[in-house]
Amino acid sequence: MSSTPTATATQKEGRSEYGVALLLLVLGGWAIVDGLSLTDTASRGPVSAKTMPIVVGVLLVAMAVLLVIDLARGGRGEAEGGEDVDLSHGSDWRTIGLLVGAFVANALLIERVGWPISGAILFFGTTFALGARHYVRMALISILLSVGSWYLFFLGLDIKLPVGLLKGIL
């Protein structure tokens, strides 16, 4: 008794979905273990620093279990049609390279020049890589976003992002 090519192909197609379930399970377990290792130094009520990582971890593990149950019952994900993307073309390596360059520049500059400047470079580089060509508008919006997000983190969330060269100005 031999299996038909379509039956073998169908069996192989489901393996990647089990891989997604395994990934969800590993990430969920990691979030739970990491959440349990946190110390509660500033807890002021029933919700502590451990709560969110544990909740997210439990939800990820539950999704992994539900996905495995669905796959075992024969459920399969629907293949994406690509929406309006032309799948016959390859990747746009120039855009990917420019985006990677903007992120790497941000990572290398954030300690030296501070978030407001490195963030503006990141935002400007990202918009340039994605095709915007209104340079003055891009620069102004990038500066507003980086300085605004610095103030949001510094004043609103009490997270001290490096200010770098603008120390004393901001």
Cβ contact 65:11 at 8 Å? no
Structural domain of residue 50, as residue ranges? 8-72
* pLDDT one-digit tens code per residue, 58-113: 999 999 999 999 999 888 877 666 566 666 777 889 999 999 999 999 999 999 99
| pTM greater than the 0.75 cutoff | no
Check whether residue 66 and residue 128 sit in a common domain.
no
Least confident of 23-27, 65-69, 124-128, 154-158: 154-158
Check whether residue 59 and residue 109 sit in a common domain.
no
Phi, psi of 82 (to 5 degrees): 90, 0
Check whether residue 14 and residue 67 sit in a common domain.
yes
Domains in the chain, number: 2
Distance of CA 122 to the CA centre of its chain: 16
